[in-house]
């Protein structure tokens, strides 16, 4: 019996060692790196220290800010596509140690931000297994944790093993270097209408979804104040083709919610949604409501200048 148990332990140990070796080799492949690039979380492997300004947010924040050209300023873009206030809050807590005292935290508020449904509109929780503590990931489970955090090759099957022998080229998302709008003027108008309809549909989600998002935004603001950080609500630029699809009632509700946050927490709000420098210049966008590389480079500089002008950023 003892010999059997010893053999079983040795077999399990050898199997674990082989899987650990294969996994170590797999995460070095471009197949794996491309998956991480697609998820957008690779940047969190290199979060610098001494950050003076960070931005959170969904794809509007992800595409609006680029601090790489800023001299004498340390900034980092923590936004991810479809990221809601809950994960904004969790990401900021996770990387708080990388921020200096008094750092500015830009919190993008998109037209649909308050209506996002955690289950219906946020199917991307798996991305956070590699960057956030297990317990804070919505719907976390052990299988997904092992799959996405510790041993991805175990769940890739033949394709994962194949990558060890026949890798692919490293594919940087071409959108990351997009320097013009993806759409013709005619197509842009149609796209803007479709995107606005989709975002208005999100805003018609149940009141419980709105309450959930507002509660998480309030947690985020309270946390910033407690940690000596400077939260700033911000709405990024949109094209006129996108803005025109929202009526007076929608804007009254949207800005009313933001104004209540301002009154309650004394937080500043920077609104560039209708800024004429951008709204009438579709060449600065990749589509109807996301900036492209030239657009975000200019916009980031404008925001930094405005923060300094209001003495929010030294």
The CATH code of the domain that includes 281 is 3.40.50.1110
Instruction: Kindly state whether residues 33 and 2 are assigned to the same domain.
Output: yes
Residue corresponding to tokens 């719907």: 139
Where is the domain boundary, 135, 168, 201? 168
Q: What is the mean pLDDT of the chain?
A: 88
What is the distance between the alpha carbons of residues 83 and 63, in angstroms, rounded to a whole number?
A: 13
> Higher confidence at residue 164 or residue 95?
95
Same domain, residue pair 153 and 202: no
**What's the domain count of the chain?**
2
Whether residue 133 sits in one domain with residue 245? no
Q: Which of 149, 168, 187 represents a domain boundary (last residue)?
A: 168
Both 148 and 239 in one domain: the answer is: no
Report the C-alpha gap between 60 and 273 in whole angstroms: 11
Identify the CA nearest to 310 among candidates 56, 302, 294.
302
Q: Distance (Å, rounded) from C-alpha 193 to C-alpha 186? A: 11
Mean pLDDT of 33-40: 67
pLDDT at 242 over 60: yes
Tens of pLDDT, residue by residue over 183-209, are 998 899 999 999 999 999 999 999 999
Q: Do 268 and 131 share a domain, yes or no? A: no
Taking the C-alpha atoms of residue 226 and residue 200, their distance in angstroms, rounded to an integer, is 34
Shared domain for 258 and 132, answered yes or no, is no
**Same domain, yes or no, for 116 and 132?**
no
Claim to verify: residue 94 and residue 138 sit in the same structural domain: no
Contact criterion met (CB below 8 Å) for 278 and 291: yes
Same-domain check for residues 21 and 72: no
Are 189 and 90 part of one and the same domain?
yes
Strands 99-108 and 230-235: parallel
Residue 67 structural domain: 49-121+178-309
88 shares its domain with 197: yes
> Is the pLDDT confidence value at 123 over 60?
no
Q: Are residues 70 and 158 in the same domain?
A: no
Residue 289 has pLDDT above 50, yes or no: yes
């Amino acid at each position: 019996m003892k010999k059997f148990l010893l053999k079983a332990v040795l077999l399990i140990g050898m199997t674990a060692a082989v899987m650990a070796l294969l996994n170590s080799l797999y995460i070095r492949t471009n197949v794996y790196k491309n998956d991480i690039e697609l998820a957008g979380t690779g940047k969190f492997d290199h979060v610098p220290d001494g950050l003076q300004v960070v931005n959170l947010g969904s794809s509007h924040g992800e595409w609006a800010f680029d601090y790489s050209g800023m001299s004498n300023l340390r900034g980092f873009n923590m936004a991810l596509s479809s990221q809601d206030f809950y994960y904004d809050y969790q990401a900021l807590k996770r990387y708080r140690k990388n921020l200096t005292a008094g750092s500015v935290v830009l919190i993008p508020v998109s037209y649909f931000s308050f209506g996002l449904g955690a289950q219906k509109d946020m199917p991307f929780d798996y991305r956070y297994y590699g960057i956030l503590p297990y317990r804070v990931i919505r719907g976390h489970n052990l299988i997904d944790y092992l799959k996405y955090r510790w041993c991805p090759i175990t769940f890739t099957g033949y394709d994962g093993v194949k990558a060890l022998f026949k890798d692919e080229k490293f594919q940087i998302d071409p959108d990351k270097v997009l320097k013009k709008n993806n759409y013709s003027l005619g197509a842009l108008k149609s796209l803007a209408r479709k995107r606005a309809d989709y975002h208005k549909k999100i805003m018609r989600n149940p009141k419980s979804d709105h309450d959930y998002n507002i509660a998480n935004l309030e947690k985020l603001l309270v946390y910033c104040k407690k940690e000596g950080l400077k939260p700033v609500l911000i709405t990024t630029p949109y094209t006129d083709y996108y803005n025109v699809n929202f009526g007076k009632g929608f804007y009254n509700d949207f800005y009313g919610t933001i104004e209540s946050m301002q009154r309650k927490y004394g937080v500043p709000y920077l609104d560039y949604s209708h800024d004429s420098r951008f709204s009438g210049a579709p060449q600065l966008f990749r589509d109807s409501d996301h900036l492209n590389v030239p657009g975000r480079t200019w916009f980031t500089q404008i925001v930094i200048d405005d923060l300094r002008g209001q003495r929010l950023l030294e």
